[in-house]
Structure 1
Amino acid sequence: MKKLMNKWNQMSLVKQIIIGLIIGIILAVTIPQQAKPIVIFGSLFVGALKAIAPMLVFFLVMSAISQHKSGHQTNLKSVIGLYLLGTFVAGLVAVVASFMFPVTLTLAEGVKNATPPGGVVEVLRALLLNVVDNPVKALYNANYIGILSWALLLGVALKNAPDTTKTMIDNVSEAVTQLVRWVINFAPLGIMGLVFDAIATNGVEALLSYGQLLALLIGCMIFVALVVNPIIVYINIRQNPYPLVFKCLRESGITAFFTRSSAANIPVNMSLCEELALDKDTYSVSIPLGATINMAGAAITITVLTLAAVHTLGIKVDIPTAFILSILAAVSACGTSGVAGGSILLVPLAASLFGIPNEIAMQVVGVGFIVGVLQDSCETALNSSTDALFTATAEYAKRRKEGKEVIINR
């Protein structure tokens, strides 16, 4: 047993996760009833990540800002620019794909007790109100925009504090980071429980009737992950982008796929950025910010489901309107909450652009939740892995401009 444990500890975390994944699938297919207790591992893993993430973001950002030295440049502007560009292009890709491969829907019953936002203004208003949310409430509800704003303000206010105070905050930040490392070490067990629960509860059969829609959604996300994002990365760093792309997909995308929450994946991305030796002042802010505004997968979901409704109803769409849809999807996606299924409720907002009644739009939302088992997992994997990818890209681009060698840790 001791030799087995030593071999297990010598394996990389990704290999451990893959083993947990395979075991979860085997148990779900062969003995779903007997193995049902392992579901608790998935719930504990996601629960621990969600619990520690708000504290991690708060103390990391506050510590980084309070100890920030004047003259030290961060890459936040570049990262945010990449976030917005990636989200818009993803929406554009979804528009083109939806016209090339039009999909019609068998409308499902709408989701009860689900209220979509009334317009883009309402989405942005909610986003701004989250900025000034009560700090304790923001931590409790994992409102990362609120957490970021208060951590930034406290960090600035503490710039002139005694060094002993800054050291204490830094020590707390390091302690929370260590807690995160311990939680991430349990990822193989957590993933095993999550994949078992997904397959045992929903089965593969429930998705087959919506295979064409799923193929279009997931196809767009794969195209963005493996074609669009590498092009954006190459333009910035001028070297083979795929080692970095695959590392982010492997180490961030896999866990995000199963947790189905960009917010829960924040600690994983923080750990990945640390491994890539990125600037802590940048990634401590850009990663939690990306969990809110970097939503390429959400833009794809909103666009594809909206145009599927358009094709189902036989509505004619011209190119300018489709282009406006890309912009609307990108803006709406930035207001998507970093939780499972957050983007689907924004479909009625986009559907209103084509005069589709809310009753029908909510039926499309129902379809979205049916395919959400796979759609939302792929969406979160794309969104979250791109947070780390674009943060690294901005820093590597800066190093290239300064004439420094860029070595991507594979």
Structure 2
Amino acid sequence: MSAHDALMAASLWMTAWMAPPAPQVLSAPEFPERVSPSFADETVVQHVRLAIGGKRLRVRFSNAYGDRPIAIEGVTIALRNGAGHYARPMHMTFAGNDRMVMPAHGQVLSDAVDLATIPLQEMRISLYLPGPTGPCTCHSRGEDPTQVFKGRSARPGAVPDRRVQQRVFLSGIDVAGSTAKRLVVAFGDSITDGVGSTIAANRRWPDLFAERVLDAGVNIGIVNAGIAGNYLTRTGEYPSFGEAGLARFKRDALEVPGATDTVILLGINDIGGEPDVGERLIAGYRQLIADAHARRIRVFLGTIPPFRGSTFFTEAGEQSRLRVNAWIRADNPADGIIDFDRALRDPANPGRVDPRFHSGDWLHPNDDGYRVMARAIDPAIFAKPR
């Protein structure tokens, strides 16, 4: 690397972890765990794993859907070492202050700190919320429970007073000085968000693909922009399902710092909710591809996996899925495809997921299914010049 290239790499921010926020859920009698939690005089602890390492780090918080300012104090980060122990917490500041206030419908970026991290670095982020916050701007399914402690401190090893499934206000972590050559954004729904995988084990397909490329010595990163319940063409039944993929693609893929590529796997919820949606899905994919190409971001389309046996399966929906997958394989303007359908389907019954690979609902993969998805992607496709 030349001196100029090294200087550019040191100053280029790239997202190392993300959790796209979604609107609040105020009531969900059938699914109370989906209700957006509120906080007052509580410390929130969240665990993450970075896709790429770097020499500097900053943290992003979002109040995009909040109707009031949110005060956050005492933000600390602590890196986990190979023995499973966390280092002494490092305090993060905001314009030099320990306390910051996020405006309603806004976001805040921490000051950068000099901190060396490596790919797949695990870390713990703690923040104090004096509150009351009202229902939080959250990512609805963290697949790694957030720990909540009363008061200003969270002692290592202490039992939390409660746990919530959401990612709380934390929306992203960026690094500078990374050696990664490309950054891939996995854009999708619950199958990308990792529903059905082992909790707190980092076994979503983007996690497993990140491990695969590291083992292969391929110098790229992948971050997860999946939102459980997300639709491509419209908003879902619950606000936590997020804005339509067409509406959030700019924020959650194209504007991700350092993004060079995106893998899109989105559409099964559209099919489940409105079976005769195939042509609108294709039109939506065309729009996403055009928007990405306008920013010189490459697009890899994923085929939609089987869903026969799931609660929202219909024969009409299956015909839409087959139509969309045929278009993806033969006629799309993307830069490449990833055949998740072929990887997950049962050879004896291609309309359903292989029984070895689903988590019990004939829709969401289990750990083995997510591993099969990660293996379906050739890391070399991201190394090829456009």
TM interval, shorter chain, is under 0.3
User: TM-score, normalising length from structure 2?
Assistant: 0.23
User: TM-score, normalising length from structure 1?
Assistant: 0.23
Task: Looking at secondary structure, tell me which structure has more helix per residue.
Answer: 1
Higher relative contact order (CA 8 A, sep 6+): 1
Larger Rg: 1
